[in-house]
Amino acid sequence: MTPTPSLSPPRRSFPFLNAFFAIVALYLFLCAINVMGSGLKGIGKQSDWLETIIAQGQNPLFALFGAVLVTSIVQSSSFTTSLIITMVAAGQMPIETAVFAVMGANIGTSVTGLIVSLGTMRIRRQFRRAYSAALLHAVPNILTVVALFPIEWITSTMFKNGQGILANTAGMIAGSLGFDEVTKPTNPIKVITKPVVGFLQSVTEWIGGGSIASSVLLSVLGLLLLFLALVFLVRNLKGAVLSRLEGLFSTVFFRNDFVAWISGIFSTISVQSSSVTTSLMVPIVGAGAVKLKRAFPFMLGANIGTTVTGLIAALANPTSAAVTVAIAHVLFNCSDNLIWYPLRKIPIRISKSYSALASRSKKWAFIFLALVFVVVPAIGLVITEVFIFN
């Protein structure tokens, strides 16, 4: 008996089309960096209130908690670090403040995987595995900040430039690469993005009449374009790359720890988002396709892969300060790997223990989310602003 053919057409993917749109999104991303930078420079030249805001941000705790909160809201450390680097390049944020803010962004980005894990709550065993995988991204990031934040803060008082050991090391590397203190006028990225930047500047000047309002509007347009470009970039890279990765995870990418680590780096570089790749791991581990101990090096690799976005943002504004912050981000996440892979039993045990608690009583999953990503950062901002900074 001849089987009845399916009436629904087969689903087709268009990787080349996805790749083309990803290139367009990358161009818009670079444009957004320069649009936002132009707006911030304009605001800085025309106002004093921005300096007051940045002065508040010079407090390390304020920078840390603020970045955690912002990254938790937008669910993208790529977005936050790009914003931070652009502000540094525009001269609106000092290097040391930016380094502390990058630390906060590393914590905030892990919220996505935890939210994804909540989708498996109906099946207790699956939720326990999935939540453990999500915690494997969050716990090392939190522990690394707890370990390195005080070191960076204390050492910043020992150097004449007011920067800590991480910022100074990154500065030496950036200096050895020969970047200037100011942006080169012949920067090729600025040349190719000039049409878009110039057009939006003309529009905002026409609307705002060349006042501070036009600079604010230009900054907001750059911010929106940055967010949309990142979303568009991730979505198209996901279509071009991740659709072919999922089936290879258990058979190829997790043969051993080293392969899993390399897979985490390059898959995250491919999609420009650790939130995407680590969140993809959550249901896979939840389904039992990959063991938790093998997922851990993948998460560590994803932390390194996500620093590429900041490097791209720095190359859009290749000042010594911007490149220093981007390199500091790389050094911080490499430190994360160097500390916790040898001590991997600690974050794995913490993740397993807390996920066991959360699987028995679901409220603990929500308590962790609320405390780490909303309550503690918000209270920290208030305490820092009212008591410590003043």
At 196-219, the pLDDT tens digits run 888 988 888 888 776 778 888 888
Cβ contacts of 30 within 8 Å, gap of 6 or more? 189, 192, 193, 312, 316
pLDDT score at 120? 81
Q: Percentage of the chain surpassing pLDDT 90?
A: 28
Tell me the whole-structure pTM to 2 decimals. 0.76
What confidence score (pLDDT) does residue 46 get? 61
Q: How many residues does the chain have?
A: 390
Q: Is the Cβ–Cβ distance between 372 and 142 less than 8 Å?
A: yes
Q: Percentage helix, strand, coil, to 5, in the chain?
A: 80, 0, 20
The residue extents of the domains of the chain are 16-231+246-385
Tokens of 275: 């939130």
- Collapsed DSSP state (helix, strand, coil) of residue 178: coil
Is 50 exceeded by the pLDDT of residue 11?
no
Assess whether pLDDT exceeds 70 at residue 183.
no
Three-class secondary structure assignment of 20-50 = HHHHHHHHHHHHHHHHHHHHHHHHHHHCCHH
pLDDT at 54 over 50: no
- Region 144-150: mean pLDDT is 94
Instruction: In whole angstroms, give the CA distance from residue 348 to residue 274.
Output: 19
Answer yes or no: is pLDDT of 70 > 90. no
- Paired tokens of 363: 């409220």
pLDDT in tens, 75-98: 677 778 888 888 888 777 888 889
What amino acid is encoded at 265 in this protein?
I
The pLDDT of residue 382:
83
- Rounded-to-integer distance, Cα 182 and Cα 144, Å: 32
* Residue 348, pLDDT above cutoff 70: yes
pLDDT at 56 (0 to 100) = 57
Q: Residue 55 — very low, low, confident or very high, per pLDDT cuts 50/70/90?
A: very low
Query: With 50 as the cut, is the pLDDT of residue 131 above it?
Result: yes
66-75, 121-130, 208-217, 376-385: range with highest mean pLDDT: 121-130
Choose the weakest-confidence range: 114-123, 153-162, 311-320. 311-320
Assign residue 304 a region (left: φ > 0; alpha: ψ between -120 and 50; beta: otherwise): alpha
* Sequence-ordered list of residues with C-beta below 8 angstroms from that of 73, at least 6 positions apart, any chain: none
Calpha distance 237→88 (Å, rounded): 28
- Separation of alpha carbons 29 and 83, rounded Å: 11
Q: Rounded to the nearest 10 degrees, what angle do helices 95-108 and 124-156 cross at? A: 170
Give the mean pLDDT of 177-190: 57
Greatest mean pLDDT among 57-66, 231-240, 372-381 lies in 372-381
Look at 38 and 303; give whichever has higher pLDDT. 303
Rama region for 8: left / alpha / beta (φ>0; ψ in -120 to 50; rest): beta
Could you read off the pLDDT of 304-341 as tens digits, one per residue? 998 888 888 888 777 888 899 999 999 999 999 999 99
SS3 letters across 229-269? HHHHHHHHHHHHHHHHHHHHHHHHHCCCHHHHHHHHHHHHH
**Which pLDDT value is given to residue 352?**
94
CA distance 279 to 130: 10
288 sits in the region (left: phi over 0; alpha: psi -120 to 50; else beta) called left
pLDDT confidence tier of residue 242, bands split at 50, 70 and 90: low
- Note the Cα 281 to chain centre separation in Å: 17
Structural contact between residues 58 and 341, judged by C-beta atoms closer than 8 angstroms: no
